[in-house]
Each structure stands twice: as structure tokens, then as C-alpha cells.
Structure 1
Amino acid sequence: MANVDLKPAWLSFMLFVFVMSNFVRDAWAITSRIGTVPSFQKQPDLPSFYAATDDDINWSGRVLRNEEYMRVVFDWPGVTASFQVDENATAVTVMVDDSSLVGTRFAVFYDSPTARHRKLREFRTLRGVFSYTLADVGILGAQGLRFEPNVTLSMVHTQEAQVLSNDAAVNNVTVLGFGTDGFLSRPSPSTRRLEFIGDSITAGYGADGLAPCVGSVETNNYVSTWAHALCQSLDAECFVEAYSGVGVYASYPHPGTVDVTMPERFADTLASAHQLKNMTTGGLKPGFRWNVDASTFRPDALIFNLGTNDFCCGHGENSTFVEAYAAAYYQFVSKVLEFYAVPAGTRAKDLPARPSSPKGPARAGDEPAEAPLGAAPAPVVFLGVGPMSARYQGATRGVVERLTRRGVRAILLDLMLDPTVLMGGCLGHPTGAVHAAVAEKAFPVVEATMGWK
């Protein structure tokens, strides 16, 4: 009888037990908090209700707007709702319908002429429809703040799309609207815009944890990341597309899942709609197509950080793989640039259709033609490397050089820290303190390049 190596099966079983134990812990954490945490208590009846699709609410990030039912659905990290609150208000609440199994988390920020980017609180949702307090006179007073003229509140989604089921419908969150006893109005738009495209580092995987741990609703936190810190330091409006395990050519090989890369996932409005392998058909459920509208959001800069997962597992030692990674990265960046380098007012659906590929109709991420970028100014491109690994630095530098030869303003953004700095978070990921150091290193480079001093 041939010898059978049981080690892979044993390791897979242990990983399953470890993940499920964290799932049970999270589920218990939710049920144990009902009625004991202020954000879960019955909210006061407020006379004014603004639907999530109201023009007075500004949304940053990819959201699926349902105008018929006046609600907004999303799951990418960093999605933000912001609005100004008049000085006569005493409270602001949000009504959320959360379909995820273990809830999600939000952070609330306060901005005024005298206080910038003050985090008021974080709260975690329950499965189902509940209202949660964003701010009231008690919360503000505890920090020496108040509702005054030109106060802006921002509610930031801190979690990435949770891979908890084969049915993507359970992995997103729906905002129904906002209540207040005052008035809400749309804030003045930022003149600076950034778009981050990355993996678990950008998403904040394990940023609130201390090793040893795994990512969960308790430990994952986008607002603890270098990307969020950079957005706040630069006073920029930001879009974020980040997903744990994703690569630009090859994603991290999780057992039982389809190897979906960021060029494929980038086309989705809801990231979780492109997730676990369907065990019955073996197929994928693509997400709602995200139509890039350069007239409503055109980033001044695109900040990529993809390669940590590509270069795991010894891939960097294969020269053919490295060349394929560099080619895929160049093609992906070029494709994203093409979406934004169009005359203002042109929607992506109005662009000429590209030929179909063997995978089906052309989507974001299909190979672009070598063509001029178009009439509108192209965003500056930053390709980040680090802080977990620098294995992909050489290949990424080659992509920067190739883009530069094409006429793109491309910068290699070094995010590596001193070798003595330990990441300290879950599964080798950076903690919030390490993220802050990364943001401090990136800030002067981005600020000087963009001329935003």
C-alpha cells in the first residue's frame, strides 16, 4: 500500500477549526452585547429622516444605490457617508440593515473649523434592522465638542467584505437613512481625491489585533491603516478597493476558493459578490458592474499596493512568474487609467466596447491596447511596496519604468520600514501603530509629488 501524506489534510482541518472558533467567538460577542452597549439601545425618536439616497448625503466609495427603495448597499472598506449638521441639532442617528452573520463596524468622525478629524466613536452593528447613534450632545460634550456651524460628520465603514458564505447576499450592509432633530446638508466637496487599490494591508486586516490572532470583525479595521491616515493628513476624499488575499496576477492560494485577482474584482460594485467558489457549479457570481463615471469622481492619484500575495509561496523565484506579474500589473494600471482619462461627462458605458476575451465580454482588467491615454489629464500613479515584504519591489520598479516611458507620471512608493520593526498584527500584518509609521513615511512623498503643500 502506498504511503499517504496526511499532513495537508491535517493542516487544512486545523485551519478550519481555528477559523470556526473565531466565528463562534464573534457571534457570542454580538449576542452578549445586546442591551449593554449604548449603540444597541433603542434610539430616541427624531423628527427628521434623510433617506440614504438623499442629495444631502455625500457618499465616497463604491456603493449600490437603490433609488426606488431609497437605500444604499456596500461592502468595500472605507465607504463613507458624510454630511453637515446644523448647530441646533442634539442628535444624529443612522438606520442600518445588516445582512452579515457577525455584524460589521463603523467609525464616526467630527470635523469643524476648530477640530479636524476627531474620532467620536466606533460601533458594531447587529444582524437585522437597527438604529445607532452617530453623535449627540453627550458624546460630543465628553470630548469638549458641540454642534456648531459648519460641523461635518463622517461615518466610515471599517471592514472589508466578509467571506462567510457562498451566498454573497449575506456579506453586505444596507443603510436606510439618517435621523436628526436638526438639519443635514451636503458638505463642500474636497478638491483632493485619491483612490487606493490594494490587498489586506490596505484593507486593515488584523490592524487592531496583537499576534497571535487572525482577522475578524474585532481585529480588522480600515481606519487604522496607512491609507486612511494618509487621506486624513492630506484632507482628501478617497475611494478604496481592497480585499484580503488578492493579487494582481495570482492571489493567495486559499483552499476551496477560486483564484480571483484584483483586475477581475475591480469591476465589481460589491466585492463580496465575487467570492467563494460555488461548490455545486464550480462557478463564480460576478458582482454588479461598477460604471466608472469620470464626471463625478476622477482621482488626482491612484495608489496601488499589490504584490505581497503574488510573491508568496516562493513565486518570486520563478522568472517566468515574475515577468507575468509585471505584465499583468502594467496592463491593469493601464486599464484603470483608461477609465479615468476620458473627457469629463463621459460614462464608462458610453465608451467603445472592447473585443470579447476567452473569459467573456471585456471587463475592467482585460488587457488594454497600447494607445494614448485620452483627452483628460491622467491621474498620477503610485505603486507601493511594503511594509510586509519587499519581494516584489524589483518587478514593480520595472512596471513604473514602463509606465513612465509611456508618458504616465508614475512613482515607486517605498512603504518598507526599518527591518527591526515588527508588524505585530494578525498573521504577520501591521498593527495600527505600524500603519501610522507607514503613513508618516508616505505622506511627504505624496504631498510633494501632488504639490499639495
Structure 2
Amino acid sequence: MLVASAAALVLTAPSAVATAAAPGGHGPAASVHTAGRVKDAGDVLQYSWPGVYFEGRIRGTGVGVVLDDPAADYDVQVDGSTVATLVTPGRTTHWVDGLRDGVHTVRLVKRNDTPWSTSAFGGFVAAPGGAVLARPAARGRQIEFVGDSLTVGYGNLSTSRDCDGEQLKRTTDADVSYGALTARELGADYQINAYSGLGMVRNYNGGSPDVTYRTFYDRALLNVPGDVWQNPGTWRPRLVVVHLGTNDFSTPVGPGEPWTDESLAAAYRSAYGGFLHKLRARYGPGTTLVAVGAGPFAGHVQQVVGELTGAGDRRVRYWPLDDTGFDHTGCHWHYSAHDHRLLADRLTAFLRDLPIRW
């Protein structure tokens, strides 16, 4: 079994989905804290991106986690410790019992990327005799991470580079990706808006040429064409980290693709610049944009950042990714958990030196 840490691997038995009771409101949105891109559907919160997390507080000896998700895996954490890993739980209420009678914090986090499916969370419920308490306060800092499989945490818990589809699903954990680790180091709420296999203008090996990462960026529900996430006004990140380009350039242009090496590079730079302009318009002049460069696309990213800073944008920065010491032992040569830790430490050190207006 390919699950990290001492967490129990649990398949929950299906049961009726309950609605979380909430103080001073209705539905889970009233009693949980989340920074992710979610849609409030009343009795449930719907979402698609990896790493989406929900935090709550209960009083009592047990807590139920209400889910409807046939595709994704989750970690359940109580008082800072992982107590269960739920594998494609389906429609269920998973119970954590035997807690010390008192107040507890509970956190649910979506481990992997399932862009073909919509996930639904119905909130936390307290065991008989207990109560759901007011939701935890939001953190004062917010960071948005934009990327592909490297940002998702693709196969980062695997002990082998050779993975079939099931191994990949079970060993992908966005909660120990460099984004999540960096955010925790900086005491920030975060979004991991990452989609495996997609690039800025070209996807891995030229696949699915009718879409790119930019097709999906605005969505909350990735499998709903035309969906647009409605920011409730609480998501105002003062830092956005963009790590896109590996899929554009990691495989050679095939004979059936509409690119030459030169036209691909030019299109990438143009789209990258346009994407940073979009982020600037969305979040305003006070948000710092960090553009990550690595491998064959590093020079292109650096050029785009140079053009923007030359035009007067002083809050866009280029960061050359240093992968010295990486073992790339995740699935299909992706970052391992060890690599994500190194990357998070290096990124955190870089960010601490920036004059970010938190």
C-alpha cells in the first residue's frame, strides 16, 4: 500500500449524506472555513481542484465528515494529526469516534486531482451530545499556486517511478506538495489551482490541442464547460505563484502539431504575458506575482518578467527553480515528497525576502 505516514487507510461504508448543523446559518458554508474554489449549493459545497480543504470546530467525543465523492481521496485530520485516509469514499458520513470529550479542530483535505468529477462536501457533524461550533478564523495571509502536475503533487508519495493509474491516484497528495508546505511555513491560506498534463499553450506530448490550462483557470468545477468561479470577495491573495511550462516543452513537437520550436516559444511567451496581465487585473497592483522558471522554459519566463518590469510592474518577480538534490522518485519522474520539501524550503526563503504587502 502506497500511503505515507501512520494514517489509517479507510474505506468508509456508504450511508445517507447528512447536512451539517451550523450555528447562525444553514449548510456547511456557515460552519467551515475554506479558502478553496467552491460553489455553495446549499446543503453541500462543490469543488474540483486538488488540495481544497475545509476546517471546522466541534465539541464532543466524535465528528462525522459528510461527503459525496466517487473519485477523490481525502485525509481527515483532528487536532493537527491525520486520523484517516478515505479512498474514493462515495456518498457517506465517515465517523471519527473515541475523542476526548472537549473542543476539537477538524480538517478535511482533498489529496488528488480529479478534474473529470465534481466533489461535494456536506460539512462536519457532531456525535450525539456534542455540537458544531463556530468556524475557525481565516488566516491573515493568502497565496494562490497555479501549475500542472508538479504543483498538484503528482505521485509524490510513490516509492517507485513506475506507476499504474491506481498507484498514481493513491500516491498523489496535494497536502504535502510544495505549495501546501510553503503556505504552512508562511501561515497562509492557499489555493492549489493546478491541472496535470496541461500547459500554457501546449499540453503534454501535444495532447488535447483544443484546450490548455487557460481554458480551465476561471472555473470552480473543471468538468462543467463554461463554469466560472464566483469569488465571494474573501479571496484576495497578496501572492500568486505561477509554475507552468513543463508540459509545453518537455516533449518534442510532433509532426502533426501546428508548431515549430520557434512558433511554440513565441506563443508561450505571448500567452504567459497575457496570463500575468490577467492576474494583475484580477488582484490589483498590490499583489506580488512570482513566475517560476525551470529547464527549457526558464529563459522564456525570465524574458516575459523582464518585459513587464521594464513596463513598470514592480510586483512581478522571476524565480529560477533550483532542483539540486532532487531525486525525482515520484510517479513518472515527478517530484517526490522529499523534493517538494526541498522546493518549499527554497521558495519560502525566496518569498520571505520579498516586500509582500500581506
Instruction: Please indicate the TM-score interval, normalised by the length of the shorter structure.
Output: 0.7 to 0.9
> Judging changes above 3 Å, is the alpha-carbon distance between structure 1 residues 202 and 52 closer, same or farther for their aligned structure 2 residues?
farther
Percent sequence identity is: 24
Q: Which residue of 2 aligns with 1:63?
A: 38
Q: Deviations over 1:96-154 (max 9, x none)?
A: 112x3xx321123345xxxxx54343222333x21113x4445xxxxxxx5655x5322
Q: Which residue of 1 aligns with 2:327?
A: 422
> Judging changes above 3 Å, is the alpha-carbon distance between structure 1 residues 208 and 334 closer, same or farther for their aligned structure 2 residues?
same
* From 132, 138, 156, the counterpart of 2:94: 132
Q: Higher relative CO (CA 8 A, sep ≥ 6), structure 1 or 2?
A: 2
The 8 Å contact of residues 85 and 147 in structure 1, kept in 2 or not, is answered as no
Q: Deviations over 1:251-292 (max 9, x none)?
A: 22465x34421222112111233xxxxxxxxxxxx1421234
Q: Which residue of 2 aligns with 1:440?
A: 345
> Judging changes above 3 Å, is the alpha-carbon distance between structure 1 residues 38 and 395 closer, same or farther for their aligned structure 2 residues?
closer
Q: Deviations over 1:218-239 (max 9, x none)?
A: 1222112111111111111001
In the TM superposition, residue 299 of structure 1 has moved relative to its aligned partner by 0.2
The 8 Å contact of residues 205 and 429 in structure 1, kept in 2 or not, is answered as yes
Separation in 1 of the partners of 2:55 and 2:163? 33
Q: Which residue of 2 aligns with 1:205?
A: 154
* Counterparts of residues 37-436 of structure 1 (less than 5 Å): 40-41=12-13, 49-50=21-22, 52-67=27-42, 70-86=43-59, 89-98=60-69, 100=70, 103-111=71-79, 117-127=80-90, 129-133=91-95, 135-137=96-98, 151-163=104-116, 171-180=117-126, 181-209=130-158, 210-214=160-164, 216-253=168-205, 257-273=208-224, 286-293=225-232, 295-314=233-252, 318-341=261-284, 377-386=285-294, 390-405=295-310, 406-418=312-324, 421-436=326-341
Instruction: Choose 327-336 or 151-160, whichever is displaced more.
Output: 151-160
Separation in 2 of the partners of 1:242 and 1:97? 22
SS at match of 1:94: strand
In the TM superposition, residue 182 of structure 1 has moved relative to its aligned partner by 2.6
Question: What is the letter of the counterpart of residue 61 of structure 1?
Answer: G
In the TM superposition, residue 445 of structure 1 has moved relative to its aligned partner by 0.8
> Judging changes above 3 Å, is the alpha-carbon distance between structure 1 residues 97 and 407 closer, same or farther for their aligned structure 2 residues?
same
Q: Which residue of 2 aligns with 1:449?
A: 354
The 8 Å contact of residues 197 and 203 in structure 2, kept in 1 or not, is answered as yes
Question: What is the letter of the counterpart of residue 260 of structure 1?
Answer: V
SS at match of 2:248: coil
Give 5+ residue unaligned stretches, structure 2: 3-7, 254-258
Separation in 2 of the partners of 1:409 and 1:300? 10
SS at match of 2:345: helix
Separation in 1 of the partners of 2:136 and 2:147? 28
Q: Deviations over 1:44-78 (max 9, x none)?
A: x99973464341212221112112xx211111101
Separation in 2 of the partners of 1:53 and 1:122? 21
> Judging changes above 3 Å, is the alpha-carbon distance between structure 1 residues 199 and 214 closer, same or farther for their aligned structure 2 residues?
farther
Question: What is the letter of the counterpart of residue 53 of structure 2?
Answer: T
Q: Which residue of 2 aligns with 1:371?
A: none
Separation in 2 of the partners of 1:219 and 1:158? 9
SS at match of 2:108: strand
In the TM superposition, residue 317 of structure 1 has moved relative to its aligned partner by 8.0
The 8 Å contact of residues 105 and 122 in structure 1, kept in 2 or not, is answered as yes
Question: What is the letter of the counterpart of residue 412 of structure 1?
Answer: Y
Question: What is the letter of the counterpart of residue 439 of structure 1?
Answer: A
Separation in 2 of the partners of 1:421 and 1:57? 37
In the TM superposition, residue 183 of structure 1 has moved relative to its aligned partner by 2.7
The 8 Å contact of residues 326 and 335 in structure 2, kept in 1 or not, is answered as no
Question: What is the letter of the counterpart of residue 54 of structure 2?
Answer: A
Separation in 2 of the partners of 1:261 and 1:60? 24
Using structure 2 for the length normalisation, give the TM-score.
Answer: 0.84
Give 5+ residue unaligned stretches, structure 1: 1-24, 27-35, 112-116, 139-145, 164-170, 274-285, 342-376
The 8 Å contact of residues 80 and 154 in structure 1, kept in 2 or not, is answered as yes
> Judging changes above 3 Å, is the alpha-carbon distance between structure 1 residues 172 and 258 closer, same or farther for their aligned structure 2 residues?
farther
**RMSD of the alignment, in Å?**
3.0
Question: What is the letter of the counterpart of residue 40 of structure 1?
Answer: T
SS at match of 1:227: helix
Separation in 1 of the partners of 2:227 and 2:332? 31
> Judging changes above 3 Å, is the alpha-carbon distance between structure 1 residues 259 and 84 closer, same or farther for their aligned structure 2 residues?
same
In the TM superposition, residue 441 of structure 1 has moved relative to its aligned partner by 1.2
The 8 Å contact of residues 270 and 287 in structure 1, kept in 2 or not, is answered as no
SS at match of 1:330: helix
Using structure 1 for the length normalisation, give the TM-score.
Answer: 0.68
Aligned length: 338
